[in-house]
Structure 1
Amino acid sequence: MLKKKMTYRDAGVDVGKIRAAQKSIGDIISITHRFPRKGRVLSGFGHYAGLVKLGSQTIALHSDGVGTKVLVAQLMNKFDTVGIDCVAMNVNDVICVGARPVAFIDYIALRQPNEKLIEEIAGGLVEGARQSQMAIVGGETAVLPDVIAGEGDNAFDLAGMVMGVVERQVLGNSIKPGDVILGVESSGLHSNGYTLARKVLLSKYSVDENAEHLVQTVGEELLTPTRIYVKPVMEVLEKTRVHGLANITGGAFTKLTRLNKNVRYMLDGLPSVTGIFKQIQVDGDIDIEEMYRTFNMGVGFCVVAPKASAEQVIRIFGKHKMRCSPIGRIEKGAGVVATLEGKKHML
């Protein structure tokens, strides 16, 4: 009898159901767009950030958290990097609409009061803010022993919200056939797919163990902070022309359709499966399609640009010590098609 291949759904996360729930929420909250007595909602759901027009300025807002990566921090008893992840998950989304991050607020929910834990988390938040060139202007710390699960006094959850000011609005509506898709390297898993990654790796290894395809211990690989793309993206917006910006997070490369659903994203230059991604695929016996639907696979951010802009975009990311290269192109049609191991797959 053939063994069933593991999927994200098997690990407890059904992306299809999540998207259906998100659509329902979007339909419900859209009625509020006519409530404000000042300002005008330009975009409130379905993209990487909500947009509100206030006088001559357009404000972008987004909220996100770190997800189950916090459980790895608890296992490692190391909390000075998840704050970077929290900031990254917010700013990397808000820049996708052409907004410069300006201000951030955090929300830390604890099982028990723990001053050392808070100080370590705050240190990571400050480092993330430094890399993003923005201010942390407030936040909330709550002690919720009946809500926050986990082992011991280090159980916590972490989320935040960012406000940005749009410098050059980029929503993807100008994406057209002939455009080039550029991929910027990730620092690893970033902060997505951890329910599946933990289920696979931590069922076989402890956080202190090494594994065949990893250069660090399992715990160190899982805790590697999410790369922050603010500086190069802001320079790209200032110096060249782009048609779309995509943070590759939950749902991986299917996220590209957020930008424009009326074109086809042909991905024929994606990196091969290496490092932690290879370890997860091998140990979890996971199909190649599932890997590229769930994880960033080494590409943490995508820029869709006219061919004439591609080389300059690559140079700017290189200046910031981030590898950027063509991974595909835009064609007529719809959806995302990726060439994986020599075969085309609809993601």
Structure 2
Amino acid sequence: MTNSNKSSLTYRDAGVDIDAGEALVDRIKPLAAKTMREGVMAGIGGFGALFEVPKKFKEPVLVSGTDGVGTKLRLAFEWNRHDTVGIDLVAMSVNDILVQGAEPLFFLDYFACGKLSVDTAAQVVGGIAKGCELSGCALIGGETAEMPGMYPDGEYDLAGFAVGAVDKSAIIDGKSIVEGDRILGLASSGAHSNGFSLIRKIIERAGARPDDDFHGQPLVDVVMAPTRIYVKQVLAALAAHGTAIKGLAHITGGGLLDNVPRILQDGLTAQIDKSAWTLPPLFQWLQQEGQVADNEMHRVFNCGIGMVIVVAADQAAAVTATLQEQGETVFDLGQIVRQEEGMPQAVVL
């Protein structure tokens, strides 16, 4: 039954602006074009993206990882800082697949919102493209979903996944790690994308504001600093030192205490010396303002260490030198020891 007195409805009346979506795609295409690499056969614009595994891999194994940015997005909304969370999104996945020795090949993202702001979305995707450039992978597709009523105005959610490849014989699985191996740590750029529910609670308790001076920088720049991407530097070290690098751990949720054991066999413990590095000012401030215990700090935050590398003791100096040449700040954190009864698989002493 129809009513001729009712006006004709459009998708825009329902809250979805198709024209805005098309405008965003136009803004995204040149950003994605900068990330193209060997293997891309068809990217942005098609129903599916095509990628051919580069021929340099003799026995390729695909490695995939997916993640989001978590509650760091709440600060992005509140502090109007949208240009770096895309880097975070890429970093969380490419750093994860890197730990198995994989070279990231391509990345796809999912951006969901209630009402699409082309300018905001373009800032976010610009960060995603930057993260892809930093990691050498191609941004070959994604999805922008405008869903009225699902998200408050000005808010959005992000997810993404990366696919990489490693030759079967070069997979890093930690099985060769033995007692006496050294534990190296690569400096983080800040809190990365973990622990932000606690960070937001501490900021609220401290009454801190984004434009507060923090050691000569606005607090917003320190807190929202994008996750460091370790791909090119670590791949260079793997190419130079091969089997000397026995294990890699991306320090994300769970911190040093929960992530390092993920690459250890039963009977081994990572013994980390907390005097081996200085807790960066951000983490000192978080601990002081939140009265956070040491053990909680090491389980929630990266505490200044974004990637852990386990290496043969006699190769530690050479691997360190290569990483430093690649621009990394490297700490000798400790060693692998035999696990005693009742001892956890990672301790910070």
Q: Which TM-score bucket, shorter chain as reference? A: 0.7 to 0.9
Q: Is 1:258 matched up with 2:259?
A: no
CA distance in 2, matches of 1:95, 1:258: 14
SS in structure 1 at match of 2:159: strand
SS in structure 2 at match of 1:291: helix
Q: Which residue type is aligned with residue 232 of structure 1?
A: Q
Q: Is 1:282 matched up with 2:283?
A: no
The question of whether the paired residues in 2 share the 8 Å contact of 1:209 and 1:217 is answered with yes
Alignment coverage as a number of residue pairs: 281
CA distance in 2, matches of 1:162, 1:131: 13
How many percent identity over aligned positions?
A: 35
Cα distance, 1:55 vs structure 2: 9.4
The question of whether the paired residues in 2 share the 8 Å contact of 1:208 and 1:217 is answered with yes
Partner of 2:347 in structure 1?
337
Partner of 2:36 in structure 1?
none
Q: Is 1:267 matched up with 2:268?
A: no
Instruction: List per-residue Cα deviations over 1:105-160 (Å, max 9, x = no partner).
Output: 001111211100111011111111111011011011112343335xxx32011111
Q: Which residue type is aligned with residue 163 of structure 1?
A: V
Q: Is 1:93 matched up with 2:103?
A: no
Instruction: List per-residue Cα deviations over 1:12-62 (Å, max 9, x = no partner).
Output: xxxxxxxxxxxxxxxxxxxxxxxxxxxxxxxxxxxxxxxxxx993200011
**Any gaps of 5 or more consecutive residues in structure 2?**
1-56
Partner of 2:166 in structure 1?
166
Partner of 1:301 in structure 2?
307
Q: Is 1:316 matched up with 2:329?
A: no
CA distance in 2, matches of 1:73, 1:100: 29
The question of whether the paired residues in 2 share the 8 Å contact of 1:261 and 1:335 is answered with no
Alignment of 1:92-131 (within 5 A): 92-131=95-134
Q: Is 1:207 matched up with 2:213?
A: no
Q: Which residue type is aligned with residue 196 of structure 2?
A: Y
The structure-2 alpha-carbon separation of the partners of 1:55 and 1:180, relative to structure 1 and needing over 3 Å to count, comes to closer
Alignment of 1:32-43 (within 5 A): none
Instruction: List per-residue Cα deviations over 1:280-307 (Å, max 9, x = no partner).
Output: 1111111111111111111110000001
CA distance in 2, matches of 1:322, 1:202: 33
Cα distance, 1:78 vs structure 2: 2.1
CA distance in 1, matches of 2:212, 2:148: 31
The question of whether the paired residues in 1 share the 8 Å contact of 2:174 and 2:265 is answered with no
Instruction: List per-residue Cα deviations over 1:191-230 (Å, max 9, x = no partner).
Output: 100000111013421222235xx44222221110111000
CA distance in 1, matches of 2:303, 2:148: 36
Counterpart pick for 1:73 among 72, 76, 80: 76
Cα distance, 1:320 vs structure 2: 1.9
Cα distance, 1:274 vs structure 2: 3.2
CA distance in 2, matches of 1:122, 1:194: 21
The structure-2 alpha-carbon separation of the partners of 1:111 and 1:261, relative to structure 1 and needing over 3 Å to count, comes to farther
The question of whether the paired residues in 2 share the 8 Å contact of 1:201 and 1:218 is answered with no
Instruction: List per-residue Cα deviations over 1:48-89 (Å, max 9, x = no partner).
Output: xxxxxx993200011011111111111221211111111111
SS in structure 1 at match of 2:211: coil
CA distance in 2, matches of 1:76, 1:63: 26
Instruction: List per-residue Cα deviations over 1:259-289 (Å, max 9, x = no partner).
Output: 0241101001442333110111111111111
The structure-2 alpha-carbon separation of the partners of 1:261 and 1:195, relative to structure 1 and needing over 3 Å to count, comes to farther
Q: Which residue type is aligned with residue 299 of structure 1?
A: I
Q: Which residue type is aligned with residue 156 of structure 2?
A: F
SS in structure 1 at match of 2:282: helix
SS in structure 1 at match of 2:213: coil
**Any gaps of 5 or more consecutive residues in structure 1?**
1-53, 340-347
CA distance in 2, matches of 1:288, 1:215: 26
CA distance in 2, matches of 1:207, 1:110: 24
The question of whether the paired residues in 2 share the 8 Å contact of 1:103 and 1:135 is answered with yes
Q: Is 1:136 matched up with 2:147?
A: no
Q: CA RMSD in A?
A: 1.6
SS in structure 2 at match of 1:243: strand
CA distance in 2, matches of 1:165, 1:74: 35
The question of whether the paired residues in 2 share the 8 Å contact of 1:184 and 1:302 is answered with yes
SS in structure 2 at match of 1:62: strand
The question of whether the paired residues in 2 share the 8 Å contact of 1:100 and 1:234 is answered with yes
